[in-house]
Amino acid sequence: MAKLVPLNHPALHTIAEEFTREEFESGAVTKLLKDLQSAIKTYKVDGYTAVAIAAPQIGVEKRMFIIVDQSKGEDRLPTIIAINPRFTKLSKKTHVVGEGCLSVPDYYGVVRRHTNVTLEALDEHGKMFTRGAGGLLAQIMQHEYDHLDGILFTDRAEEVWEKDKVPKGRQSEAEPT
């Protein structure tokens, strides 16, 4: 089973490579997707279940991330498989939001993110799709996309705290995404 790599792993600090048509045909895309789906189910941070994971987080330097909301209820995030993604639109409006990360489990921080984005990517069958998003979904897409470029939320954060030292009044900003 695929597992998260340690923080010093090169895949977390390298720009990931795009998938080729041959990799779709050979089954490499399907294998990595299964590994990501398996890995995301096993991780929780401070009682929160993981909702997204990118290939570099399991040591694979390829451009794929998935969003899978394992919670129950009406406010669930949509399941998204994004292969070779790119943003086609980023709103001018930004906001500062709290973030945590499976790859940086001992820290929380606040990061400036675009409030709305439009993402273009391939699905698991190699078919192009476009997806707009706002709020939390836009934030998660940007966070996962950063992983594909070797960027951790701590690299972008305006402030970072050890999880047990988040200042009073900042706890709600620093909940993990």
Instruction: Answer whether residue 111 shows pLDDT above 80.
Output: yes
pLDDT score at 170: 57
pLDDT tier, 177 (very low <50, low <70, confident <90, very high otherwise): very low
- The active-site residue, picked from 25, 144, 158, 159, is 144
Please report, as a single letter, which amino acid is at residue 117.
Answer: V
pLDDT score at 97: 94
DSSP 104-166: EEEEEEEEEEESEEEEEEE-TTS-EEEEEEEHHHHHHHHHHHHHHTT--HHHH-SEEEEGGGP
Domains assigned to the chain: 10-165 (3.90.45.10)
pLDDT score at 58: 97
Q: Chain-wide mean pLDDT for the chain?
A: 91
Average pLDDT score over residue span 100-126: 95
Instruction: Decide if 175 is catalytic.
Output: no
Taking only the tens place, the pLDDT of each residue in 124-150 is 999 999 999 999 999 999 999 999 999
pTM comes to 0.91
pLDDT score at 70: 75
